[in-house]
Amino acid sequence: MRRPRPVPGRRMPNQDDRDIGERGPFSYNADPDRRDYTRTAPVMDMPAFSGPAMAIAPDPDALCPERVIYAADTADPPLYSFQVNFPRLEFVLSGCYRNGLCDRHGDVIDRDIDAGQSLLIPSNCWNRPLWDRDVTVLSFLFGRRQLGLSRTSWSVEAQAFVSVGKQSHPLSANSPVHSMIQALTLCQDGEDVLHVRLQAQAIIAYAVDLLRRPLPPDASWPQRLFENICIYLQENFHKPVSRESVADRFNISANYLSRIFQQQGDIGFAEYLIFVRLERAKFLLRRYPFPLEEVAHRSGFRDVKYFCRLFKSRFGQTPTEYRRDSAWT
């Protein structure tokens, strides 16, 4: 379904560019790299390791894109697509990174992004990696207060992610990288125009330099563990995750997981997960014409009746009423 093309600098009707959790019922300054991924159908878990930026990213001098391809949101996101409310910039290190994208006319197309090229996905736009070629991709994620980097390698023969390196670093809300990203988003003068490529290279160089710096001394281990768990939940809220499964993934006890949430966030684990899922449901109701059953499924609720009851108990109106009222806002 085609949708009106967003005008740069102009807010689309009902567009919610808040970071999930930023105004949530917990005390810490939540922000995405608490990454609010809309993975719209179950996907495979990735084996992850953490490491310094120099082990994940090559020298930034080698990361000058030959082409910068832009994602959009002129069509409804299909299954298995990624959609977040903050910008991402991806650089293909090797292989071919094939993606489903929508063009400015609202047509969904498959696009090959080759080694040495970049993909910019602005805030609230989407892409759908097809994972049908061997490829290694660097992904930079620019939250308002968190910068994330991942290096992902996919093997067609193994039909699996053979390695995933991840790292994050605090990011000031006043960081110049936010303006740099906005300038690149607005400057859609051509995929291979020199100043577009140089702007993308400058953003990558800035991000790699920041990620190589030491973490602030006040970043405690419980706080970082809590933030990493929040990231995991916002990546996997659509899956049947539980307190026990998350605790097992982070090699801690379920009781300690609950204690971390109460101490660091003033909220229970289950309550936080429900909050994330309901915020995603509200976003989908405002923005897309999906039926309620699909909204529930994409938000992590397997029972649409339970979803509707919970939604009304939290917000005082049914999902249908919320969608209707949002259309007039």
pTM across the whole model: 0.74
Provide the 10 A C-beta neighbour count for residue 100. 20
Query: CA-CA distances (angstroms) from residue 33 to 53, 84, 167, 193?
Result: 16, 10, 10, 30
Q: What gap in Å lies between CA 206 and CA 209, rounded to an integer?
A: 5
Q: What gap in Å lies between CA 271 and CA 121, rounded to an integer?
A: 30
The pLDDT of residue 201 is 96
- Give the residue carrying structure tokens 């990493």: 228
Strand partners of residue 46: none
The pLDDT of residue 8 is 37
For residue 227, which amino acid is it?
E
Q: What gap in Å lies between CA 81 and CA 129, rounded to an integer?
A: 7
The pLDDT of residue 131 is 95
Which of 285, 273, 287 minimizes the C-alpha distance to 317? 285
**Segment-wise mean pLDDT, segments of 10 residues, the chain, 329 residues:** 41 34 29 35 36 65 92 89 88 98 92 98 93 96 86 94 82 92 90 94 95 77 82 83 93 95 91 95 94 94 97 97 87
Q: Are 101 and 109 in contact (CB under 8 A)?
A: yes
The pLDDT of residue 93 is 96
Residue 157 tokens read as: 């023969």
- The domain locations on the chain are 49-211, 221-327
For residue 276, which amino acid is it?
V
Backbone phi, psi, residue 153, to 5°:
-120, 125
The pLDDT of residue 19 is 37
Three-state secondary structure string covering 126-141: EEEECCCCCEEEEEEE
Residue 34 tokens read as: 């608490």
CATH architecture assignment, domain 221-327? Orthogonal Bundle (1.10)
